[in-house]
Structures are given as structure tokens and as C-alpha cells.
Amino acid sequence: MPHLVYSVEREPKHRRRVRYKGTHPRRFEEKYKELDPLKYADTVEKVIRKGSTPAGMHISICVREILDFLKIRPGQTGLDATLGYGGHTQKMLECLKGGGHLFALDVDPIELAKTRERLGKCGYGPEILTIRQMNFADIDQLAAETGPFDFALADLGVSSMQIDNPERGFSYKQEGPLDLRLNPEKGIPASERLREITREELEGMLLENADEPYAAQISRAVFSEIRKGKEIATTTQLREIIGNALSFLPENERKEGIKKSCQRTFQALRIDVNSEFEVLEEFLEKLPDVLKSGGRVAILTFHSGEDRLVKKSFQRLCRAGVYQDFSREVIRPSAEECAMNSRARSTKMRWAVKA
């Protein structure tokens, strides 16, 4: 007699959430408390007090200095050209006190959706805030619809939530795809970019975009691997190549030297992949035309190449009578802010006022 096989439907086994490993777990995906700051406010506050940035979050820099300069009043119309986590946006909205309107732009579809939801939960809906997925180089297109702005802000730094997420490939510290795109739906990732440029182009990129002192050694090492048919597809693969290229450094300098060269190399690639200098130049040229007379703009930069472009643009346009005034000296975050947020240390702020 044949055996009868009965299919027994099992109830799905209950899976417990991974235990939160201490006050600051190492892996990004384990930091579920930091990734939900509204629910776990106490945990987030502890991380910030330690001088760290919670995973998936961005701590806004120079907020007091920006607001002191912009002098936002209820009823005004403003532009946040780089929405990011929305920290600056929220502070500017608070200054409007329910009157006026703020337009905010970002190219990153992943973080833009999260920020729209977060700000919506804080009570900032379409009646006072309009968020667009748009590159800030296209501010003229926005202004054609909205009219000119009373104030504008551009924070040129990469957001902490982009850096911390290993899937985005912005940091050499964590394993992830070598991507580095601000908008992963457009363009090509850094891994593909490395396959299509020459060694001389890479060396020039490292020099121009990051002032890398070992540009020649790093570019030779990268192309040595590519000639062998190896694909540099991950962040850790590139980090290892840089480390091997700089093995000649004295032992007492090697660790720090490799760390800084990794930072600069990833920065140079990110700038190239996203055409950041070209986009910034276009933004700076169009900026005066989208500001009202007396309109104020503040810009935060995070490395010398960006700061030079902003400074020269403000100087040139002030001499031409387009701006009535601009910051002669760079403004930096306070020592207290840098102690609380190490990512603030390289920040420079410059401002200008439309004639």
C-alpha cells in the first residue's frame, strides 16, 4: 500500500529582532535605534553627546551663523538648494512662522523621500514647503515658476546618511559597491568610471579635485590592477589598492597617510562622478538672477576647490555691481560645535547680498 504523504502547513517561526549591541553598534544595519530618531530619541541624544553622528542622520552645521545672516522674516520666499536631511530646512521654516514659502531641492531620490516624510510629520506640508527632486544647477527653471527668492542656502557637503550607508559606496571605511553617485538612478558609478579613463586622467583628477600628494603612485597602482583584468568594484578593493600603493611610507606615518589618501581619493572620484564643480559653477552663475534685490545667500563648502569657486564668483560679481556686499573673510563653525560634531571641522561659510 503506498504511503500517503501529508503536507503540514507550519506556522512561520517568530524571529526576534537583533539585539541592540551596546550604545553604538558597529554595523549600519544593526543601528535600528539610530535609524529611527523619532522613536528612540534618548539613544540618538546619547550618540550626539559622544560627538558622533547617528546612523542615517545628519547634524546641520553653522545653523546659528546661517540664520543670523539670512535674517528670515515671516512672509518671505526662500530656497534651500540642498535639502539633504532637512535640518537647515526645518530651522528656516521655523523662522517663517507659518507665513511665506520655502522651496527645497535635492538630487538624491532615496533621501529626499525620507526627508519629505520626516518634515511632513513635523507639520510642514505643501502649504509652506515645496520639495523638488532637482539639481541646483537648474534653479533658473524653478525661479521661472516661483519668482525670485528673498533668501537662499546651499550646503555643498555630502550628507552623513549618504556617507554612513555602505550601500551608497561613499566611504572607504565600510564594504560596499564603489558607487559614489548622489543620484544612483543617473550616470555611471565610480567603479565603471575607473574602467573608462586613462591613468593620466585619473592622476589629474586626484590632483585637481583633492590635491592628492600621491596622485601618481595611486593612479599607477589602480591601472596596474585594471591591466591585469581585475575589476575595482567595491570600496574595500580601492582602499586596499591605495594602501599597497603607499606601503613605501615610513611605518610611523603609514596608517594616517593611507587614511588621508583614501579620503582624498574617494572625494576626487565623487566630485568627478557627480560633475560637482561644473554643477557648482552653473549654480553660481545663475544665482544672482533668482534673488530679489537685497536677497541674501549663504553657502557652506567643505574643501578648498569648492571654496575657491564660491569666493571668486562672489568677488567678481560684487566688482561688477551684481552683489552689493559679500563676506571678505570665511566664517567657520565654533570650537564647541566642532567638538560636538567632528564633521563640522572642515566647514567654511561665505555669503553675499544681491544689489
What pLDDT sits at residue 4? 47
* pLDDT tens per residue, range 241-264: 999 999 999 999 999 999 999 999
Q: In the prediction, which pLDDT does 163 show?
A: 83
Q: Based on the domain organization, do 75 and 154 belong to the same domain?
A: yes
Q: Is residue 4 part of a domain?
A: no
For the cut 80, the answer to whether the pLDDT of residue 119 exceeds it is yes
The residue from 226, 254, 273 where one domain ends is 273
C-alpha cell at 91: 530651522
CA–CA distances in Å: residue 107 to residues 118, 135, 164, 300: 17, 5, 18, 17
Reference 199, options 231, 221, 172; nearest CA is: 221
pLDDT of residue 40: 58
Mean pLDDT score of the chain, rounded to an integer? 88
Give the model's confidence band at 159: pLDDT under 50 very low, under 70 low, under 90 confident, else very high: confident
Q: Distance between CA 16 and CA 323 in Å, rounded? A: 60
pLDDT value, residue 23: 56
For the cut 90, the answer to whether the pLDDT of residue 217 exceeds it is: yes
Assign residue 33 a region (left: φ > 0; alpha: ψ between -120 and 50; beta: otherwise): alpha
Neighbours of 282 (CB within 10 A): 17
The whole-number pLDDT of residue 128 equals 97
The confidence score (pLDDT) of residue 7 equals: 45
Domain assignment of residue 321, given as a range: 63-160+277-354
Q: Is residue 212 within 8 Å of residue 233, measured between CB atoms?
A: no
Least confident of 7-21, 70-84, 117-131, 188-202: 7-21
Burial of 263 (0-12, 13-18, 19+ CB in 10 A): middle
Residue 21's pLDDT band (boundaries 50, 70, 90)? low
Which pLDDT score, from 0 to 100, does residue 232 have? 95
Q: Is residue 169 part of a domain?
A: no
Quick check: is 1 in a domain? no
How far from 44 is each of 25, 39, 111, 172, CA to CA, in Å?
12, 10, 19, 24
In terms of domains, do 136 and 100 share one?
A: yes
pTM of the model: 0.83
SS3 labels along the chain: CCCCCCCCCCCCCCCCCCCCCCCCCCCHHHCCCCCCCCCCHHHHHHHHHCCCCCCCCCCCCCHHHHHHHHCCCCCCEEEECCCCCCHHHHHHHHHHCCCCEEEEEECCHHHHHHHHHHHHHCCCCCCCEEEEECCHHHHHHHHHHHCCEEEEEEECCCCHHHHHCHHHCCCCCCCCECCCCCCCCCCCCHHHHHHHCCHHHHHHHHHHHHCCCCHHHHHHHHHHHHHCCCCCCEHHHHHHHHHHHCCCCCHHHHHHHHHHHHHHHHHHHHHHHCCHHHHHHHHHHHHHHHEEEEEEEEEEECCHHHHHHHHHHHHHHHHCCCEEEECCCCECCCHHHHHHCHHHCCCEEEEEEEC
138 domain-assigned: yes
Q: Are 282 and 253 found together in one domain?
A: no
Residues 114 and 134 in one domain: yes
Q: Which long-range contacts (CB under 8 A, 24 or more apart) does 199-205 make?
A: 199/223, 205/268, 205/269, 205/272
Q: Residue 215 maps to which CATH number?
A: 1.10.150
Q: What is the pLDDT of residue 41?
A: 54
Write out pLDDT tens, residues 36-83.
Answer: 555 655 655 555 455 455 555 668 899 999 999 999 999 999 999 999
Neighbours of 34 (CB within 10 A): 24
Domain boundary among 273, 304, 336: 273
- Grid cell 570665511 is found at 330
Domains held by the chain: number = 2
- Claim to verify: residue 220 and residue 75 sit in the same structural domain: no
309 assigned to some structural domain: yes
Please give the share of the chain, as a percent, with pLDDT higher than 90.
73
Examine the domain organization and report whether 195 and 344 are in the same domain.
no
Q: What is the pLDDT of residue 9?
A: 47
Task: Determine the average pLDDT of the residues in 103-122.
Answer: 94
Q: Which pLDDT does position 341 carry in this prediction?
A: 85
In Å, how far from its chain's centre is CA 14?
38
Asked whether residue 151 falls in the same domain as residue 189, the answer is: no
Residues 140 and 227 in one domain: no
Among 162-166, 172-176, 269-273, which is the least confidently predicted range?
Answer: 162-166
